[in-house]
Amino acid sequence: MPRINSPEELEKVRQEILSRTEPGKPCISICAGAGCLASGASEVIAAFKAEIDKQGLNGDVDSKGTGCPGFCERGPIVVIYPEEICYLQVTPEDVPEIVSKTIKEKKVVERLLYVDPTTGERATHESDIPFYRNQERNIISSNIKVDPKIIDDYLALGGYSALAKALFRMSSEQVLEEVKKSNLRGRGGGGFPTGRKWEESRNAPGEIKYVIVNADEGDPGAFMDRALLEGNPHSILEGLTIGAYAVGSQEGFIYVRQEYPLAVENVNIAIRQAEDYGFLGKNILGSGFDFNIIVHKGAGAFVCGESSALMTAIEGRAGEPRPKYIHTAVKGVWDRPSVLNNVETWANVPVIVNRGAEWFTQFGTERSKGTKIFSLVGKINNTGLVEVPMGITLRDIIYNIGGGIPGGKKFKAVQTGGPSGGCIPEELLDLQVGFDELTKAGSMMGSGGMIVMDEDTCMVDVARYFLDFLTDESCGKCVPCREGIRQMLKVLTNITRGKGKEGDIELLEELSEVAADASLCALGRSAPNPVLSTIRYFKDEYEAHIREKRCPALSCKELISFYIDPDRCMACMVCFRKCPSEAISGGKNLIHVIEQDKCTKCGTCLEVCPARFSAVRKISGEPVPSRIPEEARIIARESKQK
């Protein structure tokens, strides 16, 4: 492919690509994101290729592995164009039927469609599925249309036209102004205004400046940046290059965690292709602007998502934060002005340049503009990535898009913002999602992790989980963070083990205050959030653990017991046989009893006890009822024959 040397040539190439695709020619898109691959997408892709060949359709139909469209719960996902028929949970065994029925006969395979759990209606198209219908997919919608390894797919969608527009029809000041006008705020955590960050770097003294993609996504349960980088890497490269032009930078970095091998692979392929086409390197599109990108693989540290730690790591040193009394936008990598934005922020840039700040600001609230991608996980029916306009309520996300809580359980809390965020209770479900709103509620937007919890989740244990995570992930440099987290984890662990004492809540608050006030970086300053937000909204759970040695969610192992109700037990032997620690004494016609000293509280007995008996109970905060006398255990049954 020869280099493209002008916007006109770019448009010509795009027309050529489009002309190669015959109108109406079917195309089978199979999600090849990490989630679908884990559920067997590569076998499905291979099966399609083989089946197309077998049925003699080579040349009549295209098939490709694409980026992730977000409905991970129902992967592997297949979308067939031009009709946009959406099949879910497709297996290689389904493939022959899809090819003969849908491709050849233009009929829909009903059983692979989405079925609405309440109405029982089937949805043929992606846009008919409530999960998708209630979203606003400005950024992630391209994922399912492109094979991330093929640049032509991106160009066909108008890829790199924003870069051409910026380089040829806008001055760098105009690009900066447009981004400022859009009020785009950083999607990685703090929500700092992107335009202001760019401006600070642009105005900072120094010839050499850097622009950086933060793809060190490390919040437990969060994977929106992975999906973007993996699924549509060129959109990130385009955004970064536009940013470089606006800031006056000629060198960029993509800091991506090595635990994202597919993202690393796809972004490296994309960089090579972009260089070949002249979207990167010297004299980009013939504009005279030079820009190169280096991929830096992280070595597995959560703290490297923090800007100064990330920059220290790029310099080749241990990824430890350093004080930012002078912003990294002014003194960053090697003390040079460095603009760091996360993947999703960069992905928004080409869209803003192409469609304008005015278009962008129609989405969102007064102070939080545009859309935000969340990874909706935990106790939720529709696990996956959702892109919603800022200002949507948590209730809409969880119920209208997420489909509510599985198993008829009750919603308890939603954790946003990862380990730096907090838990939001049911009474705040109508809270509008925005940077300031979430912070005010004691949580934060963070990068967009959203973990839904139901009534079976113990909130003290949730706080303990996040502090345990941070114990490993703090860099350990400053005292309030390292030692504060150490002591907080000890207190929380004691509480969940029934060893909590009066004063523990106050001690947690005291340690939190010092960590929040005096830590070196944002990791330490926000580390208390999981603790403080759970104390704020679920103090009764803390008190129950401490005072009554009771876990209201019946979750903390050391505070619960399993007990077989002798009035309900029919001595069916099921739990007796299934108990992995042989803790159940019983026999035929002998009411079963759990030997408490042998019980490991795995819960198997509760799970296997037939619903018609429901004899096993989980109890907490009360003594296990004393054993019934041996003679009372014998069940006298009338023989069936008689």
Any contact of residue 426 with another protein (CB under 8 A)? no
Tell me, what DSSP letter sits at residue 631?
G
Any contact of residue 470 with another protein (CB under 8 A)? yes
**Interhelix angle for 529-547 vs 504-518, to 10°?**
170
Binding another protein by CB under 8 A: which of 318, 628, 632, 635? 318
Q: Which residues of 541-579 are buried (b: 16+ CB within 10 A; e: fewer)?
A: bbbbbbeebbbbbbbbeebbbbbbebeebbbbebbbeeb
- Minimum distance between the CB of residue 510 and another protein, rounded to whole angstroms? 7
- Minimum distance between the CB of residue 199 and another protein, rounded to whole angstroms? 18
Any contact of residue 471 with another protein (CB under 8 A)? yes
Site mask, another protein, residues 109-138, x = CB under 8 A? ------------------------------
Stretch that binds another protein, among 41-49, 422-430, 448-456, 516-524 (CB under 8 A): 516-524
- Minimum distance between the CB of residue 501 and another protein, rounded to whole angstroms? 13
- Minimum distance between the CB of residue 630 and another protein, rounded to whole angstroms? 46
Any contact of residue 327 with another protein (CB under 8 A)? no
- Minimum distance between the CB of residue 507 and another protein, rounded to whole angstroms? 9
The alpha carbon torsion through 465, 469, 472, 477 (nearest 10 deg) reads -110
Beta strands, E only, 53-187: 62-66, 78-81, 85-87, 114-115, 122-123
**CA pair distance 18, 147, nearest whole angstrom:** 15
Chain centre distance of CA 426 = 21
Q: What residues between 488 and 507 interact with another protein by CB under 8 A?
A: 490
Any contact of residue 329 with another protein (CB under 8 A)? no
- Minimum distance between the CB of residue 378 and another protein, rounded to whole angstroms? 25
Q: Which residues of 515-528 are buried (b: 16+ CB within 10 A; e: fewer)?
A: bbeebbbbbbbbbb
**CA pair distance 500, 261, nearest whole angstrom:** 43
Any contact of residue 330 with another protein (CB under 8 A)? no
Binding another protein by CB under 8 A: which of 113, 310, 329, 511? 511
Shorter beta-carbon distance to another protein: residue 450 or 516? 516
CB 354 within 8 A of CB 171: no
CB atoms within 10 A of CB 508: 23
Shorter beta-carbon distance to another protein: residue 512 or 529? 512
- Minimum distance between the CB of residue 149 and another protein, rounded to whole angstroms? 35
* CA–CA–CA angle 545, 546, 547 (5° rounding): 100
Any contact of residue 518 with another protein (CB under 8 A)? yes
Stretch that binds another protein, among 156-164, 182-190, 458-466, 478-486 (CB under 8 A): 478-486
CB atoms within 10 A of CB 138: 19
Beta strands, E only, 497-609: 560-564, 584-587, 590-594
Half-sphere exposure of 642 (CA within 13 A, CB side): 3
**CA pair distance 536, 59, nearest whole angstrom:** 62
Q: How many residues sit in the footprint of another protein (CB under 8 A)? A: 33
Question: Nearest CA to 379 among 553, 561, 217, 607?
Answer: 553
The alpha carbon torsion through 465, 470, 471, 473 (nearest 10 deg) reads 130
Q: Is 338 helix (H, G, I), strand (E, B) or coil?
A: strand
* R_g of the chain, CA atoms, integer Å: 28
Shorter beta-carbon distance to another protein: residue 386 or 516? 516
Any contact of residue 204 with another protein (CB under 8 A)? no
Any contact of residue 23 with another protein (CB under 8 A)? no
- Minimum distance between the CB of residue 121 and another protein, rounded to whole angstroms? 51
Shorter beta-carbon distance to another protein: residue 302 or 563? 302
Any contact of residue 454 with another protein (CB under 8 A)? no
**CA pair distance 337, 200, nearest whole angstrom:** 8
Shorter beta-carbon distance to another protein: residue 296 or 482? 482
CB atoms within 10 A of CB 408: 7
Any contact of residue 299 with another protein (CB under 8 A)? no
Any contact of residue 323 with another protein (CB under 8 A)? yes
Any contact of residue 480 with another protein (CB under 8 A)? yes
Chain centre distance of CA 143 = 15
Binding another protein by CB under 8 A: which of 118, 207, 325, 642? 325
- Minimum distance between the CB of residue 111 and another protein, rounded to whole angstroms? 50
Shorter beta-carbon distance to another protein: residue 18 or 318? 318
- Minimum distance between the CB of residue 375 and another protein, rounded to whole angstroms? 25
Shorter beta-carbon distance to another protein: residue 489 or 571? 489
CB 418 within 8 A of CB 391: no
Stretch that binds another protein, among 323-331, 533-541, 562-570, 594-602 (CB under 8 A): 323-331
H-only helix segments in 107-223: 130-133, 151-156, 161-169, 172-182, 194-203
**CA pair distance 458, 441, nearest whole angstrom:** 20
Amino acid at 206: G
Q: Under 8 Å CB-to-CB from 191, ≥6 apart: which residues?
A: 185, 368, 435, 445
Binding another protein by CB under 8 A: which of 303, 388, 460, 546? 303
Any contact of residue 473 with another protein (CB under 8 A)? yes
Shorter beta-carbon distance to another protein: residue 325 or 580? 325
Any contact of residue 335 with another protein (CB under 8 A)? no
Stretch that binds another protein, among 94-102, 156-164, 357-365, 482-490 (CB under 8 A): 482-490
Binding another protein by CB under 8 A: which of 482, 545, 549, 550? 482
Site mask, another protein, residues 386-425, x = CB under 8 A? ----------------------------------------
Any contact of residue 326 with another protein (CB under 8 A)? yes
Any contact of residue 484 with another protein (CB under 8 A)? yes
Stretch that binds another protein, among 25-33, 183-191, 481-489, 558-566 (CB under 8 A): 481-489
Any contact of residue 431 with another protein (CB under 8 A)? no
Query: Which residues bind to another protein, rule: CB under 8 A?
Result: 301, 303, 318, 322-323, 325-326, 470-480, 482-487, 490, 510-511, 513-514, 517-520
